[in-house]
Amino acid sequence: MRVLVTGGAGFIGANFVHQTVRERPDVHVTVLDALTYAGDEASLADVADAITFVRGDVADAEVVDRLVADADLVVHFAAESHNDNSLSDPWPFVQTNVIGTFTLLEAVRRHGVRYHHISTDEVYGDLELDDPAKFTDQTPYNPSSPYSSTKASSDLLVRAWVRSFGVQATISNCSNNYGPYQHVEKFIPRQITNLVDGVRPKLYGTGQNVRDWIHVEDHNTAVWAIVERGEIGQTYLIGADGEVDNKTVVETLLELMGQDRDAYDLVSDRPGHDLRYAIDATRLRTELGWRPQYGSFRDGLAATVEWYRANEAWWRPRKDATEAKYATLGR
């Protein structure tokens, strides 16, 4: 099988590539990545000899058409994904998330290639902290940021291309990922790397916002389950019952790294900060038989702490610039 992975030098995509090379020797992987600030070819260094890497933009129709024509499957991870960045400059999110997805859909339509679309639970908006409900594939879209609105737009394009043109596609909307190779601007790796540097963690607002966390390796096993056994045209929600508020995440990290659980600071909340996400992954579990490998969020978090401790050479070059940007925002 020949698989084109867009955004394969980014966080989730790079982990997908590593996992595929490790566990599926019959699959040849081609990575298409523009290597924007969130993508790094160094994330693929350990598998560089086993894959084909192409530097390019998913919105470049000529490059996309050439690569899709030579693929059996496209797994589309490429996305601008940082909420804070979408508030300061929305255009790259429209360019990559909307136009890039359109470009890929047209290519897979021309060449009859199977397509899987990676999306986010943020397209559904947020839930109240005391609401027992969870997101399902029937939850109406209610995005609240330029990032989530462009991801919602791309999901709707996929659905329309399935219905209108018969494109062989599936969609997955996943809860918050964590694990190796995640950019240090993101919540969990930022706190871990701050603690490595002796800097107190920072929490937006009061830290009560809840995310439904899943280790990236569990996410990617679910993607393969959907690719291999999922029903064309269906949306599958990927989650591991990992609802934890941000305060608890920071306190757990402090404990895992040998510090007092209250050794953190509160900073002003960010605009439009969603309250709570929660995924109902029933369809994925009952129809496809998928289960997460990590037994608890704490287990996955401990493994992630050890990865960042052992791989300082990977994250250190990004750290100073990231913290300088946050300093201008007072965060």
Kind and range of the H or E run holding 164: helix 146-165
Q: Establish if 104 belongs to a structural domain.
A: yes
From residue 170, give the alpha-carbon distance in Å to each of 10, 22, 41, 218: 21, 24, 27, 18
Confidence (pLDDT) at 71 = 98
Confidence (pLDDT) at 247 = 96
Read off the CATH number of the domain in which 107 is found.
3.40.50.720
**Residue-wise pLDDT tens digits, 209-260:** 999 999 999 999 999 999 999 999 999 999 999 999 999 999 999 999 999 9
Q: Establish if 165 belongs to a structural domain.
A: yes
**Residue-wise pLDDT tens digits, 56-111:** 999 999 999 999 999 999 999 999 876 667 777 889 899 999 999 999 999 999 99
Do the beta carbons of residue 224 and residue 289 sit within 8 Å? no
From residue 105, give the alpha-carbon distance in Å to each of 68, 164, 307: 10, 12, 36
Count the domains in the chain: 1
Q: Indicate the pLDDT class of residue 331, thresholds 50, 70 and 90.
A: low
Domain that residue 90 falls in: 2-178+214-238
The CA-based angle 13-94-84, given to 5 degrees, is: 75
- From CA 183, how far away is CA 189, in angstroms rounded? 7
- From CA 10, how far away is CA 93, in angstroms rounded? 15
Confidence (pLDDT) at 6 = 98
pLDDT higher than threshold 70 for residue 199:
yes
Confidence (pLDDT) at 275 = 86
Q: Establish if 243 belongs to a structural domain.
A: no
Confidence (pLDDT) at 193 = 96
The three-state secondary structure class of 51 is: strand
Taking residue 22's Cβ as centre, other Cβ atoms within 10 Å add up to: 11
Q: Establish if 49 belongs to a structural domain.
A: yes
**Residue-wise pLDDT tens digits, 274-288:** 789 999 999 999 999
Q: Which residue has the higher pLDDT, 145 or 215?
A: 215
Largest separation between any pair of C-alpha atoms in the chain:
57
Q: Establish if 283 belongs to a structural domain.
A: no
pLDDT higher than threshold 90 for residue 205:
no
Q: Known catalytic residues?
A: 121-122, 147
Confidence (pLDDT) at 325 = 82
Q: Establish if 268 belongs to a structural domain.
A: no
Taking residue 72's Cβ as centre, other Cβ atoms within 10 Å add up to: 13
Do the beta carbons of residue 331 and residue 203 sit within 8 Å? no
**Residue-wise pLDDT tens digits, 3-50:** 999 999 999 999 999 999 999 999 999 999 999 888 999 999 999 999
Q: Establish if 52 belongs to a structural domain.
A: yes
Do the beta carbons of residue 133 and residue 278 sit within 8 Å? yes
Q: Establish if 116 belongs to a structural domain.
A: yes
Q: Which residue has the higher pLDDT, 40 or 330?
A: 40
Q: Which residues are CB-contacts of 14 (< 8 A; sequence separation ≥ 6)?
A: 8, 43, 44, 181
pLDDT higher than threshold 90 for residue 272:
no
Do the beta carbons of residue 326 and residue 203 sit within 8 Å? no
